[in-house]
Structure 1
Amino acid sequence: MSYNKIKWAILLIPTITLGLWEYVRHQFLLPYLSMELGNFLAPIIVLLVTLTLLTKLFRMMEDTQSMLQREKAMKAVFEEREQLARELHDGISQSLFLLSVKLDKLEQAEESSDRAAATEQIRGTVRHVYADIRQSIANLQAAPVTTDVPWMNAIRELAEDTRTNGRLQVKLDWRLSDGLLNGKEQVELLAILRESVMNVRKHAHASELTVTSEPLEGGFHVTVRDNGIGADTDAMWAKGRFGIRMMRDRAQSMGWTFTASGTAGQGTTITIEKARGGRHER
């Protein structure tokens, strides 16, 4: 039985029971039962039906709610695993391909200086792959985002994790409460924030990261800004920049506006905005 049918059954069964009792009493039992006895038996009959049928329906409703919560949690886990799969495919796999190319160059190098330069490049690529793997493992160990846990805790943990795993100073000015976004919006926005923070840690060489948010009438405005090496806006959208495209696709799937801007040497700014009337569900 579906959740809505259970709710309607709980609402209607006491009324139908009382109506049937009154009908049977007046049509068939009136010569045998006094009015006082019939009025006395009416609440007892409703109580007995409630204890038998409605108790079972309440258990069914609780089981349905638990199943919905589990499905919501599993959906969040699958989305996080999908994100990690994209990171592994478009991040680590590309780095390994680049590593194989550099190894070929090392084998073909004849001068010792060329070998030394190729060796140093290989070391840098290995360090990059190592950092990617560590980040992916950390993401796998992180608890999935569900609405069972206050969403603000996940935001604070993201900022705290960024502080404790590097020299990056994080400033968090968060003004969106749990109730302003539904479960789907919370999952998608946190995924975008995780990706943007990870990009800053991996590529920006920044010393300061600022994450701000503020509610708008019917929506919100979120900004992630760093003071790193930055890049021109055209370069940010160049082929192979999978992370920023993934963030944009997530935002667009929710009907949000996503912008990324930067200047070489002056840092990068990511903005996610939901205007009034924006879509809530995918």
Structure 2
Amino acid sequence: MKTIIAVTLTMGAVLGILWGIMNHHSPHVSAQTNINDPLIITQTNGSVEGFAIPQAEVIFSDEQGNTTSTIADKTGKFSVNVSEKLPNHNGTIGIQQKINGLTGPIHTFQIGWIMRILNCSATEIVVRGKINTDIQIRLKNGSILSQGKTDNEGHYTGNIANVPAGSELTIIQMYGGIAFHKMYTLPPVPPKFTVTESTLAGIKGIGVPRGLMCVSQTSFGHFNFADGTFFLDFPLLNGVRPPLGSKIYLYQKKDDRSGPVQEVLVGWSQRVAPMTEASSSL
């Protein structure tokens, strides 16, 4: 019985440590305390940024054996332009921390690699990270909103239906002994756009200022003007002009968040006052 309890407690402690060290939030981040804790990386484009043990030496190395280092501040935060300090690197960088004569394990990462938000609707967020790897989405208070594994393409979908706009999310993925963190403040869901004219030449309307007008289930996107107006000039895709009476499904995106998909009929030629809905009849 004592053995079972001991094993249970040990497993619980290990899981708690693994997810606990992944629970770093900038700027409300708690510092690392153990030399063997995975280093946290929040940015790999330009300067490499992250968190280590406070005032630890963070050492970077390339595959040729060249090294550079920086000292983490009192909160554990560090930042260094690795490409400037190690100009001959081939993209693969080693990282480890050292403090009080103790040196932690070295792990590698790729310069420029980041988790990406592929889509964020009113109810779901889709993230792309390392394939078949554990991933978590946490709220600012540290509570777990969603967790699981990425699929064979590195995609993971989390439910955000009950998360209000303005909430700070931290997306965390452990890979190669490093905890990668991506911060994302949930923006408002873009409202429905308004169509003012639909002809065989294109579609005019009003949407979110500098939002991106997208064709559903395609890679097409066109930015709205500063005042929110837009004009989608036909043809949009593959040089094919949509026929009279055909339907196009559009939505707008702002700050990586997508609004509702709306149906627009091609060839509604009469110019009218803005509508509350995009759909209309010929």
Q: Smaller-chain TM-score range?
A: under 0.3
Which structure has the highest helix share of the two? Answer: 1
Which structure has the highest strand share of the two? Answer: 2
TM-score, scaled to structure 2: 0.21
